[in-house]
Structure 1
Amino acid sequence: MTVKEKQGFGLYFLFAFGMAWLLQVYASLLLLRDGNAAAYQLLLAVSMFCPLVSVLLVQKFWLHQPTGISWKVQGKRRFWLAAWFGPAVLTLLGAVLYFAVFPSRLDFSGSWLVAAYGGEMDAQTLRSQLGVSTGSYLLQNGLFAVLLAPAINMFPALGEEVGWRGYMMPRLKERLGLLNGRLLGGIIWGVWHWPLMLLVGYEYGTNYLGAPLLGLVVWCVVCFALNTLLDILYEKTECIWVPAIAHGAFNAIAALPQVLVTPADAYYNVLGPMPIGLIAALPMLAAAVWLTLREMKQEEKN
């Protein structure tokens, strides 16, 4: 990197964090002060494009260079399939592992659905009048999350993927090496979400085991694992759409296992059963570490 390119890399983080954190704080205030959930969700969606905008500001206006992002639809089919269905497989494995460790927390009674519907009907009424049960909810939402949602969610996810995987990760790996680059990249991505986590309980809520410190740490571990897998997909395909699909697929499926616990067990969200919990994230973390170590061995041979 030239001196100006190094300065541009620093500016990228200044822009990506500065713009996103302003939006996150403002969105949180709207939710907490006015209860405006629609504006909160809209601003969160907008904040996902801050990394992409930051890349354009740095590359186009500061350096007057191409972005270097590969948009061409290419790559072997197995990587596209891994991007589309891999998050669902890892989410399922994580949930199975979590309930294997804590079998008493597995709940098919529908208590989570009752709470989600405002507690106005009990589980039996939900089933009889609305046709909503734990099984039907999992089937309908699971099929949508696996088959359709990745194609929808990839568009907002693209805003982050251009910045984190397309722009940040190649530069971090060039300067720090494969493992250290992915570690730092995951931490950076995790910290980027911290204002939301601290202000409104993004991901884990506000009342959970070890709150708020444990959630901040676990989230960075999760982000390292997911960042690594998304980075590998971009490496293998050189197509930014592929990690965007995987990111969108993860966002679609990640919350689904929550329906299998009681509302009271939300206290343990930082452990699972969603793949953002420390125990439920272990399959994803193991895959990330194994693939990185294998890649490092291949580099040593070459």
Structure 2
Amino acid sequence: MQATGLRRLLPFALVCLGLSWVPWLVLAMLRVDVDHGPAQLVFGLAASGPSLAALVLWLAGGRRRRPSGVRLGLWPIAALLLGAAAPVLAALLLHGGDVPQLVRHAGVVVAGVGGPLGALAYTLVSGPLSEEFGWRGYAQPRLRDRFGRGGTVALLGTAWGLWHLPLYFLVGTGQHDTGLFSVQGALFFVMIYPVTYLALFVSEHLRGGVWAAIVLHAAWNFSDAIMPPVGTGGAALETLLWLAIAALAALTWHTRRPTHRIVTSPQPATVPGS
């Protein structure tokens, strides 16, 4: 069982990289702006590589389902708070607790993408739905069949971080603006590990499954987007906050057992491994 699960990770990695890296590298060589025109559509489809790879392998494997491990409980609230905490706290600390200023900035950002519905749609599609069925739905449970929490976070966090590498060479992405060989670029690859741990925490310990990881990822994306730019010092502060929050979650996991009622109804929208 364990060996089979690990063997399936190699095809997942190859399909995922093929769907994501190949189009991205072509766009990088063409030096087109992926924030406009047809390149934006190609970029978006390539960004769905992890979830599409999970779907391809699920279909190729005979569409077998795993029993749903999702339970009713407080995981939606926990995932929202854990995902938004670091960006919001960093912004509050850097702006002297000026909540009205942060609210005004958030309103301008939300209005610029078409209002609350537009912001919600963009936040869910760009990252959470396009990635999490692959990372947390397919890869994470197969790694957990073989490795402990630390090993799973180390391997999955590394894979997740490396998957983002081409974005630093794509004109129009935030990563390109930051730069791969900058302090902020380096901090991103540090930050990815506590976020990976928190995704494991809400999906496994809180029994939220892949949907909890989607909520966490969406809360992170949304809060990070609507807060004012933080610069290098702010990125360092945010990274420290992520590490502290993950440490608190680890302490909670170590000392408490989850107590949530099991959902007996099937999860029709669950993609393999969630």
With the length of structure 1 as denominator, give the TM-score of the two structures: 0.68
Report whether the alignment pairs 1:226 with 2:195. yes
Whether the aligned pair in 1 keeps the contact of 2:102 and 2:228 (CA below 8 Å) is no
Q: What does residue 167 of structure 1 align with?
A: 138
Map 1:1-302; keep pairs closer than 5 Å: 1=1, 3-29=3-29, 32-33=31-32, 37-61=36-60, 63-64=61-62, 66-68=64-66, 70=68, 75-76=72-73, 78-98=74-94, 136-141=104-109, 149-150=119-120, 153-156=123-126, 157-200=128-171, 202-206=173-177, 212=181, 214-235=183-204, 236-259=206-229, 269-272=231-234, 277-296=235-254
What are the ranges of 5 or more consecutive residues in structure 2 without an aligned counterpart? 258-274
What are the ranges of 5 or more consecutive residues in structure 1 without an aligned counterpart? 101-105, 109-132, 262-268
Whether the aligned pair in 1 keeps the contact of 2:24 and 2:170 (CA below 8 Å) is no
Whether the aligned pair in 2 keeps the contact of 1:226 and 1:288 (CA below 8 Å) is yes
1:195-251 superposed Cα distances (whole Å, 9 cap, x missing partner): 11144484344566xx51644432221111222222222222344333212212222
Q: CA RMSD in A?
A: 3.7
| CA pair 207-251 structure 1, distance change in 2 beyond 3 A | closer
Q: Partners in 1 of 2:72 and 2:18 — Cα distance?
A: 34
Whether the aligned pair in 2 keeps the contact of 1:49 and 1:159 (CA below 8 Å) is yes
Whether the aligned pair in 2 keeps the contact of 1:222 and 1:278 (CA below 8 Å) is no
- Compute the displacement of 1:164 (Å): 0.5
For the pair shown, which has the larger CA radius of gyration, 1 or 2?
A: 1
* Structure 1 range deviating more: 278-287 or 288-297: 288-297
Q: Partners in 1 of 2:232 and 2:169 — Cα distance?
A: 14
- Compute the displacement of 1:33 (Å): 4.0
Whether the aligned pair in 1 keeps the contact of 2:194 and 2:242 (CA below 8 Å) is yes
Whether the aligned pair in 2 keeps the contact of 1:71 and 1:241 (CA below 8 Å) is no
1:13-46 superposed Cα distances (whole Å, 9 cap, x missing partner): 111122111122233345x247772333323321
Whether the aligned pair in 1 keeps the contact of 2:198 and 2:246 (CA below 8 Å) is yes
- Compute the displacement of 1:283 (Å): 1.5
Q: Partners in 1 of 2:111 and 2:207 — Cα distance?
A: 26
Whether the aligned pair in 1 keeps the contact of 2:19 and 2:46 (CA below 8 Å) is yes
With the length of structure 2 as denominator, give the TM-score of the two structures: 0.74
- Compute the displacement of 1:270 (Å): 4.2
Aligned-residue sequence identity (percent) comes to 24
